[in-house]
């Protein structure tokens, strides 16, 4: 049996994402975790403790959060992407210790820098298998036990009918001569697992969950709470005899802390 772990969208450095409590800040001090980060860290430890040994680990982009320029660095706990990457490396150690081979893909430029500058450093540090000297793959086509995997970070997003973008990826792939057996995408922070019969085989597609609780951007950019990720975590795929079984390590988004309705008093 071959076991593949897929982790994406950790957003290390975000005030809404994971952060190791002992990680050194670029200012020389340490960061005090907020209530949401303590919740995330608790589940990260629980999952990494029970995660079995992996043959392959795929880090599928947006592992760090970057500098959040649109928010004027307001919602990051560490503004230096290099120190974010160091913190991510510290977080990943329990998983890396159980893993034989690592592949990394590029996330978005907004989070991981132009030309994946910051992702490239982290990918090399975790021992990612390289592509022509680059350790963060722009697009990863992987053959595992005779099954063809098409892996990339980005995918389109629909507020309604959230599986539509993933179904479209499967249809586009089916038009090609080298149709993928399994498509893996991230970016939307939504866990979706689809199976669709093709001409001669069952095609599958996976959208991975993220590790970031709802951000200020997600709350306010398009109708409050429409971008809420109901489930967070990671996914493991088990391959044996040409068959794939998904095993998701999921936990719920924490309850939203909402203020009571403010009372407007007439004067």
Contacts of 259 (CB under 8 A, 6+ apart): none
Identify the pLDDT of residue 258: 63
Q: Using DSSP, state whether 38 is helix, strand or coil.
A: helix
* pTM for the model: 0.92
Closest CA to 9 of 154, 130, 157, 121: 154
* List of the chain residues with pLDDT < 50: none
Q: Alpha carbon of 217 to those of 67, 76, 242: distances in Å?
A: 14, 13, 42
Residue 157 has a pLDDT of 78
Amino acid 174: pLDDT: 78
User: Is the domain covering 2-252 a CATH 3.40.50.720 domain?
Assistant: no
Provide the phi-psi class of 13: left if phi over 0, else alpha when psi is between -120 and 50, else beta: left
Q: CA distances (Å), 30 to each of 20, 26, 27, 33, in order?
A: 10, 9, 8, 9
Distance, in Å, from the CA atom of 206 to the CA atom of 185, rounded to the nearest integer, reads 6
pLDDT at 114 (0 to 100)? 86
pLDDT value of residue 175? 79
């Amino acid at each position: 049996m071959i076991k593949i772990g897929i982790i994406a969208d950790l957003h290390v450095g975000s005030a809404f994402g994971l952060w190791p409590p002992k990680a050194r800040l670029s200012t020389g001090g340490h960061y005090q975790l907020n209530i949401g980060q303590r919740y995330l860290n608790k589940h990260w430890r629980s999952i990494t403790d029970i995660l079995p040994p992996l043959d392959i680990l795929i880090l599928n982009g947006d592992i760090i959060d970057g500098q959040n320029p649109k928010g004027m660095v307001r919602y990051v706990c560490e503004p230096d992407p290099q120190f974010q990457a160091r913190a991510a490396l510290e977080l990943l150690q329990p998983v890396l210790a159980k893993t034989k081979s690592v592949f990394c893909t590029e996330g978005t430029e907004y989070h991981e820098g132009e030309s994946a500058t910051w992702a490239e450093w982290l990918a090399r540090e975790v021992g990612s298998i390289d592509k022509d000297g680059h350790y963060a793959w722009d697009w990863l086509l992987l053959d595992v036990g005779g099954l063809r995997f098409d892996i990339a970070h980005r995918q389109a997003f629909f507020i309604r009918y959230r599986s539509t973008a993933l179904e479209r990826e499967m249809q586009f792939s089916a038009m090609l001569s080298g149709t993928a057996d399994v498509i893996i995408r991230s970016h939307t922070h939504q866990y979706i697992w689809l199976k669709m019969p093709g001409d001669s085989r069952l095609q599958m597609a996976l959208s991975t969950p993220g590790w970031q609780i709802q951000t200020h951007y997600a709350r306010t950019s398009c109708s409050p709470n429409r971008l809420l990720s109901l489930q967070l975590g990671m996914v493991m795929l088990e391959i044996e005899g040409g068959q794939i079984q998904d095993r998701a390590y999921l936990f719920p988004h924490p309850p939203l802390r909402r203020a009571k309705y403010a009372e407007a008093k007439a004067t």
